[in-house]
Structure 1
């Protein structure tokens, strides 16, 4: 079961408890909010932290904007109230109105932090690509329903595959002659984004299954870097300085090394997954995928091959060593414990393959 937040749940009436929330802005400063809830609204609000703010009076303006807000206020409304109350000459350094909103929501137990959950990790296990894709939907649902702890799972597979985004057209993205010649399995996932060319051992793919409360108040764009901060730390440990290129590309100074995608489910769960190239056969990739000039137009290159800059070349390490380093950093950072796929989860995933992910209707749902 998903562990309960460490903060005290809020109520609509005065419950006599002082609320406390903290949020460390990725690449920025710590924001802390303390307040009471009286008669269903925020009272005695005090914002603090190691951020910078000018002029000093702006802090009073922020506290005043938060005071009186209803306890069930949404993150967007909190940020809007703070922004509207700031003096015209206010300068916020290391934080933002959105960061204040996340902090307040955490204090109200509407948003959670990494430490508010018991995290599990599932080490790589070889599964058919269709099953890997189906598991992304199944495990995100399980986390959203509270039947599984938030989980990091690494993929492994044997058959060569192309995994296309939820909104991509097979006809536009895949070269049927190349697919037939190389025996490629074409699969559609539930998240958006671009196509991935996958052969055994040629890339590193992982999925995070988490409650949406973890990204409550964080913009869609910012959530990518927020959820992959541990990956950047692991890469730094291996001597690789990586960064996000908006919206969802992961790159180094030597080029793109991966891409991320997300899908948020109606029951409050979500999946965030990443594929990083390790040792891609670029010649085969361009025979299988249709990578046109428009796709490359904002990448500053005219060759699809130049977009693939494998981790093997940059690290000199075996793929397993890189995965092990990533598992180690995640486990240490979030006190994660080992887990395995249950028989029920695997059975449900196989059923989804039979009824959805392995069907012609799903694969060709975009003409």
Structure 2
């Protein structure tokens, strides 16, 4: 069995192994990482060999850590990365390039329709009737998008939203509220089968699915890093955040919003951002938390989007795709039955 795991911001970790009688045998670690001393590689192989196939990432990582020689140095990977590669080998997880990707960047639609499309396309990928897809959003109205489990009353100032022309909508994924001013952010969604992130913890899958974005941002001169659980940041501040929803049919929605030209004052007037939320971010001002892409690159929004698509295609492949008439129709019905209803918007008052 063969498993691979590309450490976000790090190196490729590869594990080849056999399974005999319910235990791992002949585990062999390889990759483009750095490891000192040399005999640490044999120690890692020995630690993994003999473990039960039911061992999780944490258990494997603990065994690897305990077996490492004193003062061993692992550069570009970690014991947890070894554990993830082992789990992916045991479940025969595919790689990005094992799929044919569609890349969709279409007309601007309403915030409600964008959210409904997320549910429709994730369901279709999970059901095997659509290829895995990267979709770049365009929207025709500014909106506050609150997380599935957030309280409308606690997160949004309705008067501020009305005054600044923001609709308020609720998405199917968890996480925090996002201020999505038209043409002032970049939002993308990945619709993937659960097999792509098999063997990973929920937290690890966030960084894994956004690593291509970090590479795109770095190619534009931004020192982008991932801050667990779901923030994309630079030395100048937070750039954006990601969220996920996993459907019962095996479809995974992973989407992220990055600020291009954020008005921090408007954000504080539309969102009820309290001191408690900011206290663990090391800042006293919500306006200082978000550092737009425009100020760091000096590039038009369209040029940054083009680099995103170029980077994704270079790393993972992909061809231009589209949303079908049937998919748009299904999403429009879902807007009427769910996303545009007060029952959904106020499901958490």
TM over 0.5: yes
Q: Please tell me whether the aligned partners of residues 75 and 216 of structure 1 are also in contact (alpha carbons under 8 angstroms).
A: no
1:268 maps to 2:268: no
Q: Please tell me whether the aligned partners of residues 3 and 92 of structure 2 are also in contact (alpha carbons under 8 angstroms).
A: no
Counterpart of 1:4? none
1:338 maps to 2:320: yes
C-alpha change, 1:59 and 1:240, in structure 2 (3 Å) is closer
C-alpha change, 1:324 and 1:51, in structure 2 (3 Å) is closer
Hey, what's the Cα distance between the residues in 2 that align with 1:57 and 1:252? 37
2:10 to 18, 24, 28: 28
Counterpart of 1:79? 60
Q: Please tell me whether the aligned partners of residues 65 and 81 of structure 1 are also in contact (alpha carbons under 8 angstroms).
A: no
Q: Please tell me whether the aligned partners of residues 65 and 79 of structure 2 are also in contact (alpha carbons under 8 angstroms).
A: no
Hey, what's the Cα distance between the residues in 2 that align with 1:52 and 1:320? 38
Matches within 5 A, 1:135-174: 135-174=117-156
2:101 to 110, 119, 140: 119
How far the C-alpha of 1:52 sits from its partner, in A, is 5.0
Matches within 5 A, 1:344-359: 344-359=326-341
Counterpart of 2:277? 295
Counterpart of 1:93? 74
- In the alignment, structure 2 segments of 5+ residues that lack a partner are none
How far the C-alpha of 1:181 sits from its partner, in A, is 2.6
Counterpart of 1:363? 345
Q: Please tell me whether the aligned partners of residues 121 and 337 of structure 1 are also in contact (alpha carbons under 8 angstroms).
A: yes
Alignment: residue pair count: 348
How far the C-alpha of 1:38 sits from its partner, in A, is 4.6
Hey, what's the Cα distance between the residues in 1 that align with 2:299 and 2:277? 30
Task: Output one character per residue of 1:52-83: Cα deviation in whole Å (capped at 9) or x when no partner.
Answer: 55676655554445445566x36447626844
More displaced 10-residue stretch of structure 1: 99-108 or 318-327: 99-108
Task: Output one character per residue of 1:9-55: Cα deviation in whole Å (capped at 9) or x when no partner.
Answer: xxxxxxxxxx3333332333333323334566544333334445567
Q: Please tell me whether the aligned partners of residues 62 and 85 of structure 1 are also in contact (alpha carbons under 8 angstroms).
A: no
1:199 maps to 2:181: yes
C-alpha change, 1:301 and 1:213, in structure 2 (3 Å) is same
How far the C-alpha of 1:89 sits from its partner, in A, is 4.3
Hey, what's the Cα distance between the residues in 1 that align with 2:198 and 2:71? 25
- In the alignment, structure 1 segments of 5+ residues that lack a partner are 1-18
Secondary structure of the equivalent of 1:355? Answer: helix
Task: Output one character per residue of 1:243-278: Cα deviation in whole Å (capped at 9) or x when no partner.
Answer: 123322222222222111112222222111111111
How far the C-alpha of 1:364 sits from its partner, in A, is 1.0
* Cα RMSD after superposing both structures: 2.6
Task: Output one character per residue of 1:143-177: Cα deviation in whole Å (capped at 9) or x when no partner.
Answer: 22222221110111111211001111110111121
Secondary structure of the equivalent of 2:206? Answer: helix
Hey, what's the Cα distance between the residues in 1 that align with 2:73 and 2:128? 37
How far the C-alpha of 1:120 sits from its partner, in A, is 1.4
C-alpha change, 1:68 and 1:267, in structure 2 (3 Å) is farther
C-alpha change, 1:35 and 1:277, in structure 2 (3 Å) is closer
1:181 maps to 2:163: yes
Hey, what's the Cα distance between the residues in 2 that align with 1:111 and 1:96? 20
C-alpha change, 1:39 and 1:361, in structure 2 (3 Å) is same
2:240 to 258, 267, 271: 258
Q: Please tell me whether the aligned partners of residues 232 and 243 of structure 1 are also in contact (alpha carbons under 8 angstroms).
A: yes
Q: Please tell me whether the aligned partners of residues 48 and 64 of structure 2 are also in contact (alpha carbons under 8 angstroms).
A: no
Hey, what's the Cα distance between the residues in 1 that align with 2:72 and 2:171? 42
Counterpart of 1:307? 289
Secondary structure of the equivalent of 1:330? Answer: helix
Hey, what's the Cα distance between the residues in 2 that align with 1:55 and 1:255? 37
Q: Please tell me whether the aligned partners of residues 66 and 78 of structure 1 are also in contact (alpha carbons under 8 angstroms).
A: no
TM-score, with structure 2 as normaliser: 0.89
Counterpart of 1:5? none
Q: Please tell me whether the aligned partners of residues 58 and 80 of structure 2 are also in contact (alpha carbons under 8 angstroms).
A: no
